[in-house]
Structure 1
Amino acid sequence: MIKNIVCSLLAIAFVTSCVSPKVYKDLEARYNDLKEENRKLALENDDLLSSKNTAENQLKQLNAAYDEAIAERDKLQADYNATKANLDNLKSSYEALEKNSSAAIAANSQKNRELLAQLEAKEQALSAEITRLAKLKKELDDRSKRVAELEELIAAKDAAMTRLKEAISRALTDFEGKGLTVEQRDGKVYVSMENKLLFGSGSWAVGAEGRRAVKQLGSVLGDNPDIAVLIEGHTDNVPYKGNGTLTSNWDLSTKRATSIVNILREDNTINPENLTAAGKGEFSPIASNETSAGRAKNRRIEVILTPKLDELSKLLNDQ
């Protein structure tokens, strides 16, 4: 029943809608800009996550070095204590021998000097180890603080993306069950719109219902200027058979992605630098192309929203 109503609304919207060439061109240019920015931010996010992992590995190494230094310090302390006890015993012996034999006194005096030299060397080694231990502890504390700051910033970004997903879901609630899904994974928000909501077969012109969905998505993006927006066009594996303007599914997917960018660019609150358009053709399917249902799922637009990571970059560069 819902499907019949949706089809009726789409048919009415398609008949009554009209997109002017000027609006279409503006949207197309805007979409290209947004897609490039999103690609850059995705790469930046991957680099920063890699830096965080490196910092955590370094922290583990410092923890191991710190534990090793503690053990070495304890060993040196034990050696020092044993040497000092031995010296004290020799001093006692020296005092006893001093009364009985000048020769024994001389021998014991030499032994005492040797032990004193050993004791001094042990004290110097212990002092050096304590200094090295203090340095390692400071490095460990600095690394721990850095990792904590990185984790805090990443957690804040994840929370912001969760709020963004919820805002988008609310804005697009009218399109539930019409080939539109909103998901959050890997620190990003994915808005997937099947072609049945946006385009006619072989066309890259967005219908009225699809335009309304994109506009409502744009209203949320305009309130989130720190989000990079990558729009990807996808097709099934059925070869494109158009009028000759395009040569392949790849061309068609790129054109469709650009159409979405152009609609978003109509919203002046969206920074064009945040928008990027990309065509993936049939090479990133999410379902089997062996069935009509699977091909329908593969024919889609994916809007991938990625947080800008300027704060993380600054934190990493300051270290």
Structure 2
Amino acid sequence: MMKKSLLFTLLMGVLFSLGSCVSKKEFTRLQSDYNNVQSLYHQSQVDLATSRAQAKSLEERLEDARRENAELKRQYAALQGSLDKSLLQNNQGSINISKLVDEINASNKYIKQLVEAKSKSDSLNLVLSNNLTRSLSRDELQEVDVKVLKGVVYVSLADNMLYRSGSYEINDRAKTTLSKISKILSDYKDFEVLVEGNTDNVPISRPNIRNNWDLSALRASSVVQMLQNEFGIAPNRLSAAGRGEYNPVSTNDTELGRQRNRRTQIIITPKLDQFLDLIDKAPETK
């Protein structure tokens, strides 16, 4: 502002000093030029202030743009990390699914083998049961019960058709029945034979027989030894067991019930080697 006043004073001094030398017209022209210069100077100041304001605004906008760019880079890096993690998990998931499918296929194959083995065993048991039934006479079937239960063939013989009362000696009539059963057993050499003695709960006291445990075990042993010694069944297929009065199939409160409980069972089972081999080959799963 001081520069502007000084310039104005100098110009006016020059004009007055030249007033005597220049015409009024020339003075008017000079005055007009001065006004123009003054106007241009003022405009230049305004333009300079505007330019400075615009420059500051551009700098602020540039700084905002830089911050936005940095934030976008950060978000991009985060998204890339999430994508990489998802791809890794997806690949791992694909591997796990593939392993699971393989395990399911192996399990299905194993189950199929078990089912086939079980079906084969059931078929053999059914044929064995039918052969036993057909080999016995009608009278014998009145005192011998043949059935298949849970993959096992049970031949239940009544006490009064096998032994003398209170004894473990096998009578002659029973030998005929046991010979028929032995003939079928000889045809099925892969089956194991368990002979199981059972009694009622009536106490017994005989020489060398202390109780029903003894009686049931001795009766089972008598049948096993007859199967071996008289009918040639391999002893490594045979087992004898006594269960005394503790495995009843009927009440001991009636004579008929006690009669049913006094029985000897020949339990015929397929050898478990095939099933045990399958169990050993069971697929491992995680």
Q: State whether TM-score is above 0.5.
A: yes
Residue of 92, 97, 121 corresponding to 1:133: 97
Contact 1:175 1:213 (8 Å CA) reproduced:
no
* Cα distance in 2 for residues equivalent to 1:181 and 1:114: 79
Q: What secondary structure is seen at the aligned counterpart in 1 of 2:187? A: coil
Asked whether 1:227 is paired with 2:201, we answer no
Asked whether the 8 Å contact 1:215–1:263 carries over to 2, the reply is: no
For residue 226 of structure 2, what is the amino acid of its counterpart? I
1:42-85 CA-partner distances (Å, limit 9, x unpaired): xxxxxxxxxxxxxxxxxxxxxxxxxxxxxxxxxxxxxxxxxxxx
Question: Does the CA contact (< 8 Å) of 2:216 and 2:242 recur in 1?
Answer: yes
| Alpha carbons 1:286, 1:297 under 8 Å: kept | yes
Please say if residues 140 and 177 of structure 2, whose CA atoms lie closer than 8 Å, have aligned partners that are also in contact.
Answer: no
Pairing partner for 1:291 from 224, 233, 254: 254
Q: Following TM superposition, by how much is the alpha carbon of 1:173 offset from its aligned partner in structure 2, in angstroms? A: 3.3
Query: Which of 186-195 and 104-113 deviates more?
Result: 104-113
Change in Cα spacing, 1:107 to 1:273, as seen in structure 2 (3 Å) is same
Deviation at 1:106, TM superposition (A): 5.2
Distance 2:202 2:83 in 1: 85
2:143 to 172, 179, 190: 179
Is 1:271 equivalent to 2:234 in the alignment?
A: yes
1:245-286 Cα distance to aligned partner (Å, 9 max, x none): 322222122211111112211223x22111011112222221
| Kept after mapping to 2: 8 A contact 1:234/1:280 | yes
- Give the TM-score of the pair, scaled to structure 2: 0.70
Q: Does 1:250 align with 2:213?
A: yes
Cα deviation for residue 224 of structure 1 reads 0.8
SS state at 1:222 partner: helix
Instruction: Name the counterpart of 1:111.
Output: 75
Q: Distance in 1 between matches of 2:68 and 2:203?
A: 106
CA distance, structure 2, for counterparts of residue 139 and residue 275 of structure 1: 40
3-state SS of paired residue (2:155): strand
TM-score, length-scaled by structure 1: 0.64
Q: Give the CA RMSD over aligned residues.
A: 2.0
Amino acid aligned to 2:272: L
For 2:275, the aligned partner's letter is L
Give the Cα separation in 2 of the matches to 1:117 and 1:299: 80
- Letter of the structure 2 residue corresponding to residue 312 of structure 1: F
Q: Which sections of structure 1, spanning at least 5 residues, go unmatched?
A: 1-100
Report the Cα distance in structure 1 between the residues aligned to 2:148 and 2:126, rounded to whole angstroms.
7
User: Whole-Å Cα distance in 2 between the matches of residues 217 and 314 of structure 1?
Assistant: 30
Percent same amino acid among aligned pairs?
32
Q: Identify which of structures 1 and 2 has the higher relative contact order when contacts are C-alpha pairs closer than 8 Å and 6+ apart.
A: 1
1:150 alignment partner, one of 111, 114, 120: 114
Q: Distance in 1 between matches of 2:218 and 2:67?
A: 105
Deviations 1:2-55 (Å, cap 9, x if unpaired)?
xxxxxxxxxxxxxxxxxxxxxxxxxxxxxxxxxxxxxxxxxxxxxxxxxxxxxx
| Greater Rg over alpha carbons, structure | 2
Question: 1:162 aligns to what?
Answer: 126
Cα pair distance change 1:245/1:108, threshold 3 Å: closer
Distance 1:208 1:112, change over 3 A: same
Q: Which amino acid aligns with 1:180?
A: V
Q: Structure 2: which amino acid aligns with 1:151? A: V
Matched to 2:170, the amino acid is V
Say if 2:161 is the partner of 1:197. Answer: yes
Distance (whole Å) between structure 2 residues aligned to residue 175 and residue 262 of structure 1: 25
Matched, 1:300 2:253: no
Q: Cα distance 1:289–1:108, how it changes in 2: closer, same or farther (>3 A)?
A: closer
Q: 1:145-173 CA deviation, whole Å, 9 max, x = no partner?
A: 21221122122112211111111111123
Cα 1:158/1:293, change in 2 over 3 Å: same
CA 106–278 in structure 1, closer or farther in 2 if over 3 Å, else same: closer
